[in-house]
Structure formats: structure tokens, C-alpha cells
Chains A and B, each alone.
Chain A
Amino acid sequence: MERIYKIQSQNLDVFYRDFQALHAINMDIEQNKVTALIGPSGCGKSTFLRSLNRLNELIAGTSIKGQVYLDQQPIYTKELDVVALRKKVGMVFQKPSVFPMSIYDNIAYGPRIHGIRQKHQIDNIVERSLRAANLWEEVNNRLNSPASRLSGGQQQRLVIARVLAVDPEVILMDEPASALDPISTSRLEELIAKLKNKYTIVIVTHNMQQAARVSDYTGFFLNGELIEFNQTDELFVNPRDKRTEDYITGRFG
């Protein structure tokens, strides 16, 4: 079967003013697969993730060289509609950040912004998204209560539901499990396994077992370079680079 690449980064350099955070990253991300990004703190995982939906440009002083392609179309061009890009490439941040509104309004935020007005249509989206994020059963009787009253794990799933509600094609997740307990984490991993049928997922994680469990591909970053990128089974069993091996076996700083 031929592989379809959803996202491809080509010689991607990212700078924060004169500090180069990423060096010539080349990565082909396959459609409907989970790609994990691992590496020590500060190696550029978040920077890479945020360059896939052009979120880096919100930070003053960032600049970019190289290119990223979504469905073979370059995203770093003047003509590109950033809003459309971000609608297609959703993002779940490391820290779940629910808006100070009701659960319902949090989910409805995206659809409303994208022009959906009819109440029953939004109702449907809210229910579908919450179900997809395994949260519906827990909150369906209090959709109008403030989202901030949910537990951390529930908020993380709410944020995922909020992303699903805009119907993206790609979901970027930056350490989505870092604030979760083991049970919530394993529920999240089940969720990711379920979601990959429909979406292409890129996930940053510090947890090696998690990367091994949930992903099809893994990329190992170090000091802003992509040291190794391979199928997860391969990378964990047969790392080609000594530095990858040191890192995954825990022999690293």
C-alpha cells in the first residue's frame, strides 16, 4: 500500500531572534498515523509542532527558513489563509486551557467562529465532539456549567473535544498527558488510538513507554536536530544512532 503523507517538513529552520531552535528538519508525516516526537527538554519539539500550524509567528522575533507542506501545498507562503490552515491543523496544548465559559460554549466556540449558526447543528457538533473525546457521559447533564469546574483530566478531554468540533484533519498534541493521572492517561491513549482512524496525529511526549504504545512513527530530537525518525517498533528496538539509543535506554543527561 502506498503511503500518503499529510505533512512534510523540508529543511525547516526556526529562529527565535538570532537563536536557532531547529536545524534543517526533514520529516514526512503519514496520514492516519500517530507520529510521536521525543527528546530532552528544550530540544525543539514544541517549536516543531507549533511550526506546523504557524503558531510560532505569534511570538515576536521568530523567523523561518525551509518549508512545510500540508497535502503537498506549501504553508509558508504569503497567500496562505492562516485561519483555514489552523482549522485543518488543530492543536492541543500542554496545559489544558479551557475558556472561561460553559462546557457547551467551549465546544461551540470553533463551529460558531467558522460560521455555523443553527442551534440544532451546534448541539449535534457538541454532542458528537464530546462523545468522540470520551467525555459525553460525564458532562451531558451539566453542559451549561462553567468548564473551569471540570477536573484536569476532564479539561484535557474537553480541549480535545473543542479541537474535534472544528473538524480538523490533523491534530497536534503537545504533551497532552503531562498533567494527568495514570487512569486519565490510559484513557487518553485509548482515545488517541480511536482518533487515528479519522485524523493524522502528531504527539509530543516525554514518556517513552507512551510513545511506544501509541505511535506508529517516532522522531527523536536533540538540540534542535532530528536525530532519527523511523517506525516506532524499529526506532525503539533497533535505534540506528548511538544518541537515540542512549536516550531511549535512559542513559542520557
Chain B
Amino acid sequence: MGAAKMKDKLIYALFWLSGLIIVAILLSIVGYVLIKGFSVISLDFLLQSPRKAGAEGGIFTTVIGTLYLTLLALLMAVPIGTGAAIYLQEYASDQSRFARMVNLTAETLAGIPSIIFGLFGFVFLVILLNLGWSILSGGITLAIMILPTITRTAQEAILTVPVEYRENSLALGASKWQTTQKVILPFALPGIITGVILSIGRAIGETAALILTAGSSLGMPLSVFDPTRTMSVHLYLLAMEGISLERAFGTAFLVIVLIVIINFLANLSMRRFSQAMH
């Protein structure tokens, strides 16, 4: 009896330790970034445009560029990805060749390194279609990159909708589309949003593919045809070109803050939503 209990305790301690390691890693990274970047963080740093390649001024244009690009990518990828997921889960039969092809494609796309998308975007969008380094080129590239994640998570979310909901809705005389719209999507929404959050994280963190497609201009982007620089690209260049490590850390800190805010908002809306349902 004593030995079994000891073993239980030991295992418990190991799991607890795993938890601790995760928290410790996160805290030390965020803490380190915060300490290193703290001296440059101020409202001015956030709200002023960069000067002298970012050595002076703030990072405002890169914040705008980041939001602009991410939003554009989501605007394209969320409807297409969710649409594909709905098609695969609700409309296509399991044997359908096309459905299997879509599935396989999404899976393969998910495994392709982002720089390949960047290269494609550079050659096809920037040069061939003559879109230049622009928010449009970058946004399309990002959209392609996050499409598999959004499709997959939406598929999984739709899969969790109990089949009884479908049957009950259809038995009440609802069409397939009404059922999808009024029962399936609302129920799957939290899962779909999870995929969107993951994608936002990926989009915000992307660098190389964006340098190839959106460029690295520090000017204020006004339209989707303007080039821009995202915060992650900015911090990469600040560090890489030895402009200012401090400012790179300051930018890194704000990237973390941005992601935390987005996570928080998404969680909040999700909780609201599921409280309204259950």
C-alpha cells in the first residue's frame, strides 16, 4: 500500500513539474523581453512613426501594417476555410473524390513551410500579377498560409456538433442550409474561433514570407496596394541589421501584448456566447 501511494505521489509531482516548466518558460521569456525592452516602451514608442530606419521614433506604422495585413488575411481565409469545412462535413459524401482531394490538399498545405508560400507570393503576386510589395500580396500569402489551420479547426468544430441537432432540425422541416446556419455554425463557433486565434498568432509572427511579399517599408500604408512592414519584420530587421536591440525587444514586447489582447478578447466573446447557449 505504501509503495503504490508513493508512486502516485511521485507521478503527481512529475505532472506538477511539467506544468511548472511551462509556466516558468513563458514567464521567463516574457519577463526577459519586458526587462530588455522596458526602457524604450512608452506611449510615444507605440504612437509615433519610426524615423531613421527605426533607430528613432516609434513603431506606429508597423502596428498598423500588422493589423492591416492580419485583417485582410482573415477576411479572405475565414470565409473560404469555414466554407470548405462546411462543404466537407455537411455536404460532401464520404466517398466523394473531390472531398477527399480537398482534405488531402488542406493537410498538405498545412505542412508546407511558410517561406515556400512567400516565394510563391513573390513570384506570382508581386512580380507576375504586378501587385508589387503590398498589403494585398502579403495578405493573400498569409491567407493561403492560414487557410489549412482554419479549415481543419472548423472541420473539427463542426464534427463535435451532435448528430441529433441535425436530425431534429431537419425533422422540423429546416433545409440543410438553415440547419447549418442556425444550429451547426453557432454550436461550432467557439471551435472555429480557436482556429482563428491560432491563425492570428501565426500571421502576426510571420517574417520571411512577408518581407518577400509585403516588403519592409516604414511608411504609413494607406491602401492595400501600399507596401508595409509588420511588427515582427520590424523587430527582425532591427536586430539583424544591428539598428537597436533594445528597440527590437520593445517591439517584441508589444507583439506579445497584442497577442495577449487578441486572445483575451476572443476568450471573452466565446465565454459570452457559450453562456448564452448553456
Contacts and interface: CB of A to CB of B under 8 A. Distances in A.
A166 interface: yes
Interface in B150-185: 162, 164-175, 178, 182-183
A6 interface: no
A42 interface: no
A60 B93 contact: yes
Contacts of A237: none
Interface stretch (A96-104, A133-141, A177-185, A187-195): A96-104
B1 interface: no
B278 interface: yes
Interface residues of A, number: 26
A113 B165 CA distance: 15
Interface residues of B, number: 23
Contacts of A109: 169, 172, 174, 182
A159 B277 CA distance: 17
B173 A166 contact: yes
Nearest to B179: A113
Contacts of A114: 173
A162 interface: yes
B172 to A, nearest CB: 4
Contacts of B164: 93, 95, 97
Interface in A21-77: 53, 55, 58, 60
Interface stretch (A7-15, A79-87, A119-127, A200-208): A79-87
Nearest to A83: B173
A110 interface: yes
B172 A162 contact: yes
Interface of A: 53, 55, 58, 60, 83-84, 86-87, 90-91, 93, 95, 97, 99-101, 109-110, 113-114, 146, 148, 159, 162-163, 166
Closest 7 pairs (CB-CB, A-B): A87-B173, A97-B164, A100-B277, A91-B171, A86-B173, A110-B172, A113-B174
Interface of B: 93-94, 162, 164-175, 178, 182-183, 186-187, 276-278
